[in-house]
Amino acid sequence: MLYTYNQIKNKYKSTYQIRKALNNKEIYKIEKGIYSDSPNIHYLETIMMKYPYGIFTSYSAYYYHNLTDVIPNKIYLSTSRNGTTITSNKIKQIRMKDDLYNLGKTQINYEGIKINIYDKERMLIDLARNKNQIGYDLYKEIISNYRKLADSLDTQKIEEYIQHFVNGDKIFEIIQNEVF
> Do both 151 and 174 map to the same domain?
yes
Q: How many domains does one find in the chain?
A: 2
> Do both 35 and 54 map to the same domain?
no
For residue 83, pLDDT over 90 is answered with: no
Query: For the segment 8-60, what is each residue's pLDDT rounded down to a tens digit?
Result: 999 999 999 999 999 999 999 999 999 999 999 999 999 999 999 999 999 99
DSSP per-residue string spanning 22-61: HHTTSSEEEETTEEESSS---HHHHHHHH-TT-EE-HHHH
Kindly give, in sequence order, each residue whose CB lies less than 8 Å from that of residue 157, ignoring residues fewer than 6 positions away.
104, 119, 121
Are 20 and 8 in contact by the 8 Å Cβ rule? The answer is no
Measure the CA–CA gap between 92 and 75, rounded to whole angstroms. Answer: 6
Helix or strand or coil: residue 80? strand
Query: For the segment 135-180, what is each residue's pLDDT rounded down to a tens digit?
Result: 999 999 999 999 999 999 999 999 999 999 989 999 999 999 999 8
* CA nearest to 120, candidates 38, 75, 48, 57: 57
> Do both 69 and 12 map to the same domain?
no
The whole-number pLDDT of residue 38 equals: 92
Query: What is this structure's pTM?
Result: 0.89
* CA nearest to 138, candidates 56, 65, 67: 67
> Do both 64 and 34 map to the same domain?
no
- Domain span at residue 23 reads 2-41
Please report, rounded to a whole number, the percentage of residues in the chain having pLDDT higher than 70.
Answer: 100
> Do both 148 and 60 map to the same domain?
yes
